[in-house]
Amino acid sequence: MKLLNVQLGDRSYPIYIGQNLLSDSQLMSQHVTGTQVMVVTNTVVAPLYLEQVLQSLESAGKNVDVVTLPDGESYKNLETLNIIFDQLLSKKHGRDTSIIALGGGVIGDMAGFAASCYQRGVEFIQIPTTVLSQVDSSVGGKTAVNHPLGKNMIGAFYQPQAVVIDIDCLATLPQREFAAGMAEVIKYGIIWDNEFYQWLIKHRTEIQSLSSEHLIQMIERCCAIKADVVAQDEKEHGVRALLNLGHTFGHAIESEQGYGKWLHGEAVAAGTVIAAKTALTMNRITPSEFDSIKDIFSRYSLPIVKPADMSTEQFMEHMAIDKKVLAGKLRFILPQGIGHADVVSGIDNSTLSDAIENH
């Protein structure tokens, strides 16, 4: 088992990465302070992994309730969030309860947001079950729900007590979901670590074949980068914004298409290619680097073009209310070569339009 730490003073917490962790009752319970636990999961994950988690917690003497939500990004909203609150209140959970998020990024975001709000904040633990949530969304304390006008616009920064990453969960992940998670993995290479980017190219076959050794190494590197960034900039006033590479364009795709039609990682992949084309136009990357970025996404079975039915005007409309708008100016994360990135504002509309239309 690998162990990393997110260094945030008195809010620091461990990330455990390994196999057969869900059956480790000591590990599953040691970060649960009280006796009450509410496990939040969904209809897809519950039949696969809920029983293991319940056995581990109950054998450690915890009183466990469960709320099972419908699956999918389209349910990541205030209405579904209220189902969690209904269960917490009806089961009489107190301020010493712990909420456990068992699922992918949607479950982690909603359970974490519920934990930040319930009785003004209760403890929670992340047990991510998808590539995307294991390498990205479970670490760093971003919690939120979507609004019809914008993705993740209602939320809070709220750190977990621990993150438990069991790679065995990836064995049941549909191929499309696995590919979508790889968009966030590739992102780390582009913005932070060219050596890791080259490693992803070299070991694609092993990664896509679910080699345990390579998956653990990959997830550990992603979490190490994320932990480092979050420790430097917990609430995204500076360097943490780099983690949003491709997300401004990607969130526009998700909002316009309807949440769930494009998976988050799919939208981020296409959005990253648009960002890379913008960087190419501004001479921040070379044509060969641009081709490499398109190629790596394509080889990991991810889309590299925007939805055919989405116009530049629709992109602009959604991006105008993106969270990364500051003082009325859109800010974009653009690569500077492969392995580095910057926050760039003041890009003229013609450059953006060209990148959207001709990537």
Give dist(CA 134, CA 220) in Å, integer.
9
The active-site residue, picked from 31, 62, 151, 251, is: 251
Q: Which residues contact 283 (CB under 8 A, 6 or more apart)?
A: none
Residue 203 is a catalytic residue = no
The active-site residue, picked from 220, 236, 254, 256, is: 236
Residue 251 is a catalytic residue = yes
| Complete DSSP assignment for 109-169 | HHHHHHHHHGGG--EEEEEE-SHHIIIIITSS-EEEEEETTEEEEEEEE---SEEEEEGGG
The active-site residue, picked from 240, 277, 318, 324, is: 240
The active-site residue, picked from 146, 244, 256, 266, is: 244
The active-site residue, picked from 62, 247, 323, 324, is: 247
The active-site residue, picked from 62, 221, 226, 331, is: 226
Residue 226 is a catalytic residue = yes
Q: What is the dihedral of CA 188, 101, 268, 70, to 10 degrees?
A: 160
Residue 11 is a catalytic residue = no
The active-site residue, picked from 184, 220, 234, 256, is: 184
The active-site residue, picked from 31, 62, 76, 142, is: 142
Residue 264 is a catalytic residue = yes
Residue 254 is a catalytic residue = no
Residue 244 is a catalytic residue = yes
Residue 184 is a catalytic residue = yes
The active-site residue, picked from 93, 264, 284, 306, is: 264
Residue 120 is a catalytic residue = yes
| Long-range own/partner contacts, residues 74-81 (CB < 8 A, 24 or more apart) | 74/258, 74/259, 74/260, 75/106, 76/106, 76/109, 76/110, 76/145, 76/146, 76/259, 77/145, 77/146, 77/147, 78/145, 78/154, 80/110, 80/145, 81/110, 81/113, 81/114, 81/145
- Written as six digits, the tokens of 34 are 């009280």
Q: Catalytic residue positions?
A: 120, 142, 184, 226, 236, 240, 244, 247, 251, 264
